[in-house]
Amino acid sequence: MDTLLEVRNLQTHFFMAEGVAKAVDSTTFSIRRGQVLGVVGESGCGKSVTARSIMRMVRPPGHTVDGEILYSRPDQDGQGASIDLLQLPATGTEMRAIRGGEIAMIFQEPRASLSPVHRIGDQITENILLHQEVSPSEAEEIAVDMLRQVHIPLAEQRLDAFAHQLSGGMCQRVMIAMALSCHPSLLIADEPTTALDVTTEAQILELMQGLQADLHMAIMFITHDLGVVADMADEVAVMYLGKVVEQGAAADIFRDPKHPYTIALLESLPRMDQRREWLQTIRGVVPDPYSTLSGCPFHPRCADFIEGVCDEIVPEPITLEDGREVRCLLYTEHAHQERPPVAEDASHS
C-alpha cells in the first residue's frame, strides 16, 4: 500500500512573549492512501497543530520552522509525483488548490465552524466553485447530492438554512458534505465528534466510515478518545508533547502497546471485564510547553524510567519487527547499560 502523506521531523513552534512553545517538535508519521490514521494524545500534545501544519494554516505567532510534509499527488499513471507542502507558499495558488480540493478538513465545533450569517448552500457551493469547473447551478446540484450522501433529510430546503437552525450533529454532517464535495484524497478530522453527544457521535462515526469506504479516501482522525480510534482506525499514531511516540497498526497497538505512554494510556481506560475500585491514572501532569526537558520528554512520568539514561538521551524512532515505530530507549541497547559513560553520550544526541 502506497504512502499518501509522509510527515518527517515536523517542527511547529509558537513564538510567545513567555518563550517558545514547541507545540509540534519533530513529529514523524505517515498516512497511507485510503486508510484511516488515528492520532491520539492528551490535550495540548500537538495533534491539532500538526493538522494545521499539514494544511499550512498555522497562524502567527505559530510557525512551522522545520521538517518535510511529502504529499503524493493521486496520479493514476504509475508513480505519483510527491511534493513537499512546506516548500509551497502557504497562501499561494498551488497550496490553495490542494487545501479544500485534495486535502479537506473538518473541525471540533461544527456549528461555530459554519458562518452564522451565510446560508448552508452558499458555503458548500463556494467550495465546489473554487475547485471544480462547474456552473453555479451545477455546483448547487452537487451540493444537494452531497447533503443526501450525508443523510440530511430535505436536502434542497436545507441549502437555504443557516447554521443556527440546525442541530450540532446536522452541522457536522454539513461540514462533512462540504469537505467531501471535491472528493479529497485526505480528510483531516480534528476531533469531529468531541462536541457531540454519544448517540450523535456514533451516527457521525458510522457515516464517516461508510463515506471513507465509498470514496476511498484517507482520513487523519484526531481524537483523545481511544475507543473511537479502536473503532475507526487502521493505523494509530500516539502523540506526546509534540512527538509521535508510537505508530503502528491499530490492532497491534491495542493488543501489545510498546511505548510506556501508550501502555499507561490503555491502562487508564475503564474496562468492562475487570472490576476495579480505582481507575488507573498516569502520574504527574503534562509539563508546560515552555519548559525544555532533557532526554525523553515522557521520563518524569514514565513507569519504566531508567535513571541516567532516559533523562539524558533523546530517543529516536526505532522500527520494530512488526513494522511499528517506537520512540523509546527501552527498545535500544541503552536499556541494558547500567549507566552510559558521559563520553559515549554525546554520540547519541
Strands, sheet with 103-106, edge to edge from the N-terminal-most edge strand: 103-106, 186-190, 218-223, 36-40, 235-240, 243-249, 325-326, 318-319
Choices 15-23, 72-80, 157-165, 298-306; region in contact with other proteins by CB under 8 A: 157-165
Choices 74-82, 106-114, 206-214, 273-281; region in contact with other proteins by CB under 8 A: 106-114
**Residue 106, phi-psi category: left (phi > 0), alpha (psi -120 to 50), beta (remainder):** beta
Q: Site mask, other proteins, residues 18-57, x = CB under 8 A?
A: -------------------------------------x-x
Q: Which three cell numbers stand for residue 198?
A: 454519544
Residue in 96, 107, 85 with CA at minimum distance from that of residue 182 = 96
Compute, in degrees rounded to 10, the torsion defined by CA atoms 221, 223, 237, 281: -160
Q: Amino acid identity, residue 347?
A: S
Compute, in degrees rounded to 10, the torsion defined by CA atoms 292, 22, 240, 218: -160
Choices 2-10, 93-101, 200-208, 339-347; region in contact with other proteins by CB under 8 A: 93-101
Choices 123-131, 134-142, 209-217, 335-343; region in contact with other proteins by CB under 8 A: 123-131
Compute, in degrees rounded to 10, the torsion defined by CA atoms 173, 179, 185, 187: -60
Q: Is 169 in the site for other proteins (CB under 8 A)?
A: no
Measured from the CB atom, is 26 or 193 closer to other proteins? 193
Q: Is 158 in the site for other proteins (CB under 8 A)?
A: no
Choices 67-75, 96-104, 234-242, 281-289; region in contact with other proteins by CB under 8 A: 96-104
Measured from the CB atom, is 179 or 326 closer to other proteins? 179
Q: Please, what is the minimum distance in Å from the beta carbon of residue 116 to other proteins?
A: 6
Measured from the CB atom, is 128 or 265 closer to other proteins? 128
Grid cell 454532517 is found at 173
Q: Is 25 helix (H, G, I), strand (E, B) or coil?
A: strand
Residue in 323, 305, 302 with CA at minimum distance from that of residue 252 = 323
Q: Is 98 in the site for other proteins (CB under 8 A)?
A: yes
Q: Is 126 in the site for other proteins (CB under 8 A)?
A: yes
- Of positions 9, 73, 87, 115, contacts other proteins by CB under 8 A: 115
Q: Which residues bind other proteins (CB under 8 A)?
A: 55, 57, 91, 95-101, 104-105, 107-109, 111-118, 123, 126-127, 130-131, 162-168, 175, 178-179
